[in-house]
Amino acid sequence: MKRPTALTEQQQAFLDKQPEAERAFHALMFRVGNAGYEYYHNPEVVEVTEDDFAQWLDEMPEKMKRTMQAKGFEACQFMLPFRRYVLAKKDIRLEDYLKQHLSPEDWAAWQELQKGDATDGPKG
């Protein structure tokens, strides 16, 4: 399996067009985003079961429950709300996954951004 933080061709092409002062910030955001995507979508991160599905359904309002039951486990197993439910139930935290899959440098930079307002973008 490809490392979750590897950049896609499109991401690299975007970085290549950025001013040098902004590249590190954007590259970090891509690597964190890629790892986050992997956390929610990779079946190896958490195994979802039909028991999990039944428990998830039990916590839903009746109308939504009927809709998800009609779709069935196979169709729902990669739906983000269901995966979030299972990840939370099994205490598999995004923060722990990121710490494990980002480089030590990226993890430190990500932690530093969390202390401030990451919406400000790169500081140059």
pLDDT confidence of residue 1? 38
- The string of pLDDT tens digits covering residues 31-62 is 999 999 999 988 899 999 999 999 999 999 99
Helix residue ranges, H only, 17-124 = 20-41, 50-58, 62-76, 80-89, 94-101, 104-115
Q: What angle do CA 76, 92, 37 make, to 5 degrees?
A: 60
CB-based contact 73:53 (threshold 8 Å): yes
Question: What pTM value is reported for the model?
Answer: 0.81
Q: Which residues of the chain have pLDDT under 70?
A: 1-4, 117-124
pLDDT confidence of residue 116? 77
